[in-house]
Amino acid sequence: MTHYIQDENEFDSLLANQSVMVVDCTATWCGPCKLVSPLIDQLDEEYGDRATILKLDLDEHKSLAKRLGVKSIPAVMFFKGGELVETLVGSKTYEEFRQQLENLL
């Protein structure tokens, strides 16, 4: 199961120390997020040894969501070297998430 970000300090620390990071911005009330969530878990299983893959509950972390500029969900953000490279918004296929991650590795 993919780890949920606990607070902004944890996010900042991971962002500073991880080469490639994927963050699934989600909420418990969001139907499409429930479709994306298992795909992110699958991505974590397949690539967790080469990238840090996390989930962010937007209801619990509104200030971080605002800081990241999340305007609609589901949103999966891809970071490399501490910088946001791409955000995939809406329901996507596993292949789309996998390909974006492959491009960063």
As annotated, the active-site residues are 30, 33
Which residue, chain included where needed, has tokens 């500029």?
69
What the block records as the tokens of 96 is 């789309």
d(C-alpha 9, C-alpha 41), whole Å? 23
37 burial via Cβ count (<10 Å: 0-12, 13-18, 19+): middle
